[in-house]
Chain A
Amino acid sequence: MTRLTREQIAARVALDIPDGSYVNLGIGVPTLVADFLPSDREIILHTENGLLGMGGAAIGDEIDEDLINAGKIYVTETPGASYFHHADSFAMMRGGHIDVCVLGAYQVSQSGDLANWRTNSPTAIPGVGGAMDLAVGARKVYVVMELLSKTGESKIVSECTYPLTGRACIDRAYTDVALFEFGGERPLVREIYDDITLDELIAQVGIPLDDGR
């Protein structure tokens, strides 16, 4: 087993974010991507609550009660940062101004549909936040997740069984087992990390995959 750790997945995504990009990172593993952005690239982070040029987490004296990120964690601002209100922040997202967003996912369908805001549990509290806006608005939508659920089922499926966040919106899914690309007829396998063959991966996922390596 040579599956990637969460940090390794985040590091892999970071490599695909070009110099000069404006990027929105979702809550959870997507946030880790910030720790691995190559230092020789100038990349501007956007947070939905009205800041471009977000820095790292604020520690000690850096904490400012008026400065948090979408996950409601205290953060810092970088030189050249700007603040704006919520309608402007989401106009940036919907209007195609954000180059890359990185989101978590419950399920991804073979046609690139995303389900990441609600499970089917009757006791779960539904909450959508900015996920649907990012899914349709960012130029590139990257998803990070473990390939298999806790019960061993593939999260890449023929059709999502969880409620959708957006249709045919995902460009790439970075998982612990492989890197998938969407937009064609079938998902394209770009990289495999585990010591398995493509056929074994296809058996695990349970839907046809093309070899794009």
Chain B
Amino acid sequence: MIDKEVTTADEAVADVTDGATIMVGGFGPPGQPTALIEALLRKGVRDLVIINNNAGAGGAAISDLFAAERVRKVICSFPKAIGSTVFDELYLAGKIELELIPQGTLAERIRAAGAGLGGFYTRTGVGTELTEGREVRRIDGVDYVFEAPLHADFALIRGHRGDRLGNMVYRKTGRNFGPIMATAAATVIAEVDQLVERGELDPETIVTPGIYVDRILDVTRHNEEARR
């Protein structure tokens, strides 16, 4: 029997170690796996490399992880955030490393890793300082720059509904990086608003097939338990 359900966020992230590279879903608050990030903070792991669109924005949990100086390096497209100066202070004090990647290239590098590709050539960033020193290839008269796949040890993502096989659907703009991160990490841990019985999700609408997901947490039930 396949049962990927975990009942607590702490159990879900129990094997994350210091120095791990972790993809974290979310673009702003939607899609941010808050309960899993909080568990990561409680676990106390450090020297983390975080791959996210932003750098500590999108909610208190991710902001706290940065503020606690658990993150050695962030790989993102847009570290600036309205209403959060945590990253700015760490960065200007030289306490955190930043690898800045154009957003579409970040997404496609993740997708390439998950799809088993050795990289791709893109026009994005050609002739800019973000691609300096990298291989440029002219294809049909147009310059493209080479981008390598981006893998991670873990992906922490959030969906709307899921089942014990790991099948998932998302909700509105909460989908963002979840489906691609689910394909690109060695261990994929998801939290969902609601875990349903096998067979309840319409196969035609499943966005992340369960094959990609290793652990799945019903975050509503988890939060109710935590309050008791």
Contacts and interface: CB of A to CB of B under 8 A. Distances in A.
Physical interaction between A and B: yes
A52 to B, nearest CB: 11
Contacts, number: 137
A71 B49 CA distance: 25
A4 B170 CA distance: 43
Interface residues of A, number: 40
A49 B27 contact: yes
Question: In this complex, which of B28, B87, B126 has the most chain A Cβ atoms within 10 angstroms of its Cβ?
Answer: B28
B77 A128 contact: yes
Interface residues of B, number: 49
B102 A125 contact: no
Contacts of B175: 50, 83-85
Interface in A22-71: 47-51, 64-69
Given A86-B177, A164-B127, A132 B172 contact: no
A163 interface: yes
Given A83-B175, A85-B178, A123-B92, A137 B100 contact: no
B28 A166 contact: no
Contact of B128 (A50, A85, A130, A166): A166
Interface string A78-102: 0000011111011101100000000
A49 B176 contact: yes
Interface string B97-109: 0101111110110
A141 to B, nearest CB: 13
Contacts of B58: 72
Interface in B168-188: 170-180
Interface in B89-127: 91-92, 98, 100-105, 107-108, 110-111, 122-127
Interface of A: 47-51, 64-69, 72, 77, 83-87, 89-91, 93-94, 123, 125-133, 136-137, 163-167
Given A87-B107, A125-B91, 14 more contacts: A50-B27, A50-B175, A50-B176, A67-B172, A67-B173, A68-B27, A68-B28, A83-B170, A85-B180, A87-B179, A91-B108, A128-B101, A133-B104, A136-B124
Interface of B: 27-30, 53, 57-58, 77-80, 82, 87-88, 91-92, 98, 100-105, 107-108, 110-111, 122-130, 160, 170-180, 207
Q: What are the 8 closest A-B residue pairs judged by CB atoms, nearest first?
A: A90-B104, A133-B104, A86-B107, A72-B28, A132-B102, A87-B111, A66-B172, A85-B179
